[in-house]
Amino acid sequence: EVQLVQSGVEVKKPGESLKISCKGSGYSFNTHWIAWVRQMPGKGLEWMGIIYPDDSDTKYSPAFQGQVTISADKSISTAYLQWNTLKASDTAMYFCARRRDHRHDFWGQGTRVIVSS
């Protein structure tokens, strides 16, 4: 069974750093792209970027380029989304999703990030 399990809720202050995770199982993690998707409170889905775990090839949406870092550790089947300096506007739910061909067929349960002073 394909599963993507994400890390738990995070409560941070503006200016702090953060790294959230997405662990895959039940399939060949290294050879499937993993995407990250943001959903701000009460808003729609926004595609942030994608990584190929086998070689860490990464592509960012222009809106998120330079704002976050996507990485992966294929030895533990885990992808990451990282911020160096959080802002209140980073408050959102973040989903990881497996890309298969040109669709996102399996999704993680989401990680809620709250940034507040």
Partner 1 sequence: QSALTQPPSASGSRGQSVTISCTGTSSDVGGSHYVSWYQQYPGKAPKLMIYEVNKRPSGVPDRFSGSKSGNTASLTVSGLQPEDEADYYCSSYAGRNNFVFGTGTTVTV
Given the rule CB under 8 A, which residues bind partner 1? 33, 35, 37, 44-47, 50, 59, 61-62, 95, 97, 101-105, 107-110
Q: Nearest distance from residue 14's CB to partner 1, in Å?
A: 25
> Which residue lies nearer to partner 1 by CB, 4 or 86?
4
Amino acid at 103: R
Q: How far apart are the first and last CA of the chain?
A: 40
Encoding tokens for residue 14?
């503006």
Q: Nearest distance from residue 76's CB to partner 1, in Å?
A: 22
Positive or negative: CA dihedral 103, 97, 83, 59 = negative
Per the CB < 8 A criterion, the answer to whether 45 and 39 are in contact is: yes
Q: Nearest distance from residue 67's CB to partner 1, in Å?
A: 16
> Which residue lies nearer to partner 1 by CB, 1 or 75?
1
Give the bridge partners for 72, in sequence order. 79
> Which residue lies nearer to partner 1 by CB, 19 or 100?
100
